[in-house]
Structure 1
Amino acid sequence: MPSFDIVSEVNQVEVRNAVDQANKEVSTRYDFKGSDARIEVAEKTLTLFADAEFQLDQVKEILLGKLSKRGVDIRCLEYGKLEKVSGNKVKQVITVRVGIETEMAKRLVKLIKDSKLKVQASIQGDAVRVSGAKRDVLQDCIALMRKEVTDFPLQYNNFRD
């Protein structure tokens, strides 16, 4: 029985490369000279630091440009609130969302069931497995997902005949 998985993955190597490029550009730009603007990377979080809110927005723009050039979908970023650190300095935490959360997976399964396609969808951890009798029906399901789900980056892999 043919099947495929709906997942949401981010290439962490590309994220780290984009952050390194953004940090390099921030350190060489004239308008950031003498400031403490930088981006730090943890497991699945990026922390932006700057001297003022305006500079933080500039650092964020640089980061988003570098991420998109490296092929990382910026819809997977979840922005935290701006925090004052000390004096005028501000920071913002950005979380990189990996995997499909339970409520999103339930929404995908409901969308597939409501479409009346002859496929079965089941939640497998942080992925959704879709199986059907024919390859054409699965391709129709992928087309439906691409059309309906625009607020979250999805990939379709593990396609088996």
Structure 2
Amino acid sequence: MASSYSFDIVSDVDMQEVDNAINQSKKEISQRYDFKNSTIEIELVKDEIKITADDDFKMNAVVEVLKGKFVKRGISPKCLEFEEKKGETLGSAKQTVKIVKGISKEKSKLINADIKGSELKVKTQILDDVLRVTAKDKDELQKVISLVKGNDYDISIQFTNYR
């Protein structure tokens, strides 16, 4: 029997699923009547999605389609960080969406403080963009998981390496 158990709290995104969601969005947009005769471009460049549309209204519709496809593919829309829209020319709108991976130091400290405040008998370690939780009892780890799931940290959170 193990002397202690642990798991990692991470924020990770499956880039293959992101690519699939973008391709599905492109297909839906090409088939929708309200986008007929419109110039809509969605492209994935490293960890950014670049969207170009004819106007602000169509940009919002494209973003909603994209979010819907992300949810259907099991990717939380919380991993998307929208930058300010840019209207470059008359009749054109651009937006860059960053795909957020990893837990920032500020979010790690916030999650850590919530875990410590719960007075559960666990130890936490902040390792780069991962938060490791260790305990002698599996039930304590289950309580930490439900605590973290119950709070909204504005990031997509997964639990990995449960040992």
Same fold (TM over 0.5): yes
Q: Is the 8 A contact 2:59 2:93 kept in 1?
A: yes
Aligned residue type for 1:62: V
**8 Å contact 1:132–1:138 — kept in the other structure?**
yes
Q: Which residue, out of 89, 99, 102, partners 1:99?
A: 102
* 1:79-121: CA deviation from partner (whole Å, max 9, x where unpaired): 1111012222011111111110110011111111111111110
Higher strand share: 1
Gaps of 5+ in 1: none
Aligned to 1:31: 34
Conservation of the 8 A alpha-carbon contact between 2:107 and 2:153:
no
Name the amino acid aligned to 1:84.
Answer: G
More displaced stretch, 96-105 vs 149-158? 149-158
Report percent identity of matched pairs: 39
**Root-mean-square deviation (Å):** 1.2
1:99-148 deviations in whole A, cap 9, x for unaligned? 10110011111111111111110101110000011111111111111112
Quote the residue 1:120 is aligned against.
Answer: 123
- What letter matches 2:14 in structure 1? N
- Secondary structure (helix, strand or coil) at the match of 1:159 reads coil
In the alignment, structure 1 residue 75 sits paired with structure 2 residue 64: no
- The match for 1:132 among 135, 138, 142 is 135
- Number of matched residues? 160
Q: Which residue of 1 aligns with 2:154?
A: 151
Tell me if structure 1 keeps the 8 A contact 2:11–2:157: yes
Give, in angstroms, the shift of residue 150 of structure 1.
Answer: 5.1
